[in-house]
């Protein structure tokens, strides 16, 4: 099941981004040191009382060509309402209730979504009385917080977590491969769904963002059960929404978390743009098996070198996803579509692969013999033992004499050796080091 989503909504300068950063802590800073991995701060991850959740900072949504603050805020609120399970409505204790606050409260109230009212800038006990004015907004007890000092954040998350939906588990079963299609608007996600299903089950239009909803479609092919999760949905239409490119990331994140395999769709006619890398980066950081699918290949002028040249370009742009196979297709003509299913099956299998411990340790010992571990100030890294601790993605724990001696380049070397030995094509790997004496 997808993690709950909290959205922070409010007019400009009430401190939304400060609270966002407080809640996620330094989690977004812990990303791989590879070019192309997104550091977009619109969407973060947090944990409260052992419950993981995603959080949207709507202050990160920019409306191109839109100067009216109120209209911009309204769009942000509506996008948050559409995606979030619970909304944190942030106001400013120093400014009091403003007309914009009242406008936002009307939008939120009509939505029927759970709303927690957070009064920011309650920096000391003297300001505590300032929160009572905000009862007039009609959202019950306001929670006084201070982004500057980190006060009240726990109380705020306590209230927000009361509205998280219950985890109903995997609704489809272990034998079903859940495939999410992600990509920016107009790369042909819905057309590809139709082509894979062989029927016009999803309404398709040439206008970016016209699919009304994310749609789950179960089907079976050659004895294997699948569920396609189409992420194209944009319920609201118009230039404002189409220009809100980051919105597609919100929709993609929800699908990515539910998926076993993610198809990162690229428009072969338009080529690679920055947003493609942003969206793919979320699939990578979520640890999902991934395939880069180049759609609309039928309209690309090509010779016998075009496919190899495009693949090279993808590898250059998606350095952080070098493990992902590349498949060229045309949803319109059905060209090469049959090649996609065996790749989906293979990467799903690799994503769940488990390596026997003694075989893994034989490999690690051989890797150490071929390339000695690094030293630092006269101390050499010693690898004592390795074991696989999880799948989806395959995750390995390596017990060493001192984790600080494990240089990222040597960790990458070990990852490459594991990949060479066990064919983990299509799935990221996670390697962690721990001191031998720890439990």
- SS3 (DSSP) at 134: helix
Any idea of the CA torsion for 122, 127, 129, 135, to the nearest 10 degrees?
-40
Alpha-carbon span 407 to 413, nearest angstrom: 10
Domain end (from 311, 336, 351): 351
Least confident span in 36-40, 178-182, 265-269, 425-429: 36-40
- pLDDT at position 59: 67
Q: Count CB neighbours of 404 within 10 A.
A: 11
Q: Per-residue pLDDT tens for 106-149?
A: 888 888 899 999 999 998 877 888 899 999 999 999 999 998 88
**Are 150 and 197 in the same domain?**
no
In a domain, 168, yes or no: no
432 to 303, 390, 403, 411, 416: CA distances (angstroms): 44, 11, 9, 9, 15
**Are 398 and 341 in the same domain?**
no
In a domain, 166, yes or no: no
Q: How many domains does the chain have?
A: 3
**Are 195 and 331 in the same domain?**
yes
Alpha-carbon span 420 to 366, nearest angstrom: 13
**Are 413 and 287 in the same domain?**
no
- Residue where the block lists tokens 């109230």: 109
**Are 363 and 339 in the same domain?**
no
Structure tokens at 53: 């959740």
pTM for this one?
0.73
In a domain, 304, yes or no: yes
* pLDDT mean over 201-211: 45
**Are 212 and 343 in the same domain?**
yes
**Are 221 and 342 in the same domain?**
yes
**Are 201 and 280 in the same domain?**
yes
- pLDDT at position 169: 61
Convert 63-93 to b/e letters by CB count within 10 Å (16 or more is b). Answer: beeeeeeeebbbbbbbbbbbbbbbbbbbbbb
In a domain, 288, yes or no: yes
**Are 317 and 421 in the same domain?**
no
Query: Which domain, by its residues, includes 366?
Result: 357-435
In a domain, 167, yes or no: no
Q: What is the CATH number of the domain that holds 403?
A: 3.30.300.20
**Are 339 and 401 in the same domain?**
no
**Are 235 and 131 in the same domain?**
no
In a domain, 103, yes or no: yes
Q: What is the DSSP letter of 298?
A: G
Q: Taking 60 as the threshold, does the pLDDT of residue 238 lie above it?
A: no
Q: What is the DSSP letter of 359?
A: H
Q: Which helix (H) or strand (E) segment is 167 a member of?
A: none
Domain end (from 334, 351, 368): 351
Domain end (from 299, 333, 351): 351
**Are 269 and 218 in the same domain?**
yes
Q: What is the CATH number of the domain that holds 145?
A: 3.40.50.300
Q: Per-residue pLDDT tens for 362-416?
A: 999 999 999 999 888 889 999 999 999 999 999 999 999 999 999 999 999 999 9
- SS3 (DSSP) at 269: coil
């Amino acid at each position: 099941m997808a993690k709950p989503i909290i959205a922070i909504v409010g007019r400009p300068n009430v401190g939304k981004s400060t609270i966002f950063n407080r809640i996620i802590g330094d989690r977004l800073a812990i990303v791989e040191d590879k070019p192309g991995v997104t550091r977009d701060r619109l969407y973060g991850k947090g944990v409260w009382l052992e419950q993981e959740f995603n959080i949207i900072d709507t202050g990160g949504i920019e409306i191109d060509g839109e100067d009216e603050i109120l209209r911009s805020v309204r769009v942000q609120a509506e996008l948050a309402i559409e995606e979030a399970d619970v909304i944190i409505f942030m106001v400013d204790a120093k400014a009091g209730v403003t007309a914009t606050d009242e406008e936002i409260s009307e939008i939120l109230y009509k939505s029927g979504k759970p709303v927690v009212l957070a009064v920011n800038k309650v920096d000391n006990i003297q300001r505590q009385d300032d929160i009572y004015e905000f009862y007039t907004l009609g959202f019950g007890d306001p929670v006084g917080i201070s982004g500057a000092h980190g006060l009240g954040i726990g109380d705020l998350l306590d209230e927000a977590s009361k509205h998280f939906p219950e985890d109903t588990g995997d609704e489809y079963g272990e034998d079903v491969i859940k495939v999410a299609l992600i990509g920016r608007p107009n790369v042909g996600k819905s057309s590809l769904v139709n082509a894979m299903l062989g029927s016009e089950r999803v309404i398709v239009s040439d206008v970016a963002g016209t699919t009304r909803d994310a749609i789950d479609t179960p089907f079976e092919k050659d004895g294997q059960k699948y569920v396609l999760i189409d992420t194209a949905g944009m319920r609201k239409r118009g230039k404002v929404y189409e220009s809100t490119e980051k919105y597609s990331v919100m929709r993609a994140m929800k699908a990515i978390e539910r998926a076993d395999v993610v198809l990162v769709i690229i428009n072969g006619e338009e080529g690679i743009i920055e947003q493609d890398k942003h969206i793919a980066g979320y699939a990578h950081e979520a640890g999902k098996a991934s395939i880069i699918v180049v759609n609309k290949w039928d309209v690309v002028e090509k010779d016998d070198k075009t496919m190899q040249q495009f693949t090279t370009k993808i590898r250059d742009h998606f350095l952080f996803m070098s493990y992902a196979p590349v498949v060229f297709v045309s949803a319109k003509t059905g060209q090469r579509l049959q090649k996609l299913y065996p790749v989906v099956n293979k990467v799903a299998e690799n994503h769940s692969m488990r390596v026997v411990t003694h075989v893994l340790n034989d490999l690690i010992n051989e890797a150490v013999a071929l390339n000695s571990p690094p030293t630092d100030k006269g101390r050499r890294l010693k690898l004592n033992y390795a074991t696989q601790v999880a799948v989806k993605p395959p995750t390995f724990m390596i017990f060493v004499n001192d984790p600080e001696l494990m240089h990222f380049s040597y960790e990458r070397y070990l990852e490459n050796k594991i990949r060479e030995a066990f064919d983990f094509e299509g799935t990221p790997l996670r390697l962690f080091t721990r001191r031998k004496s720890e439990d």
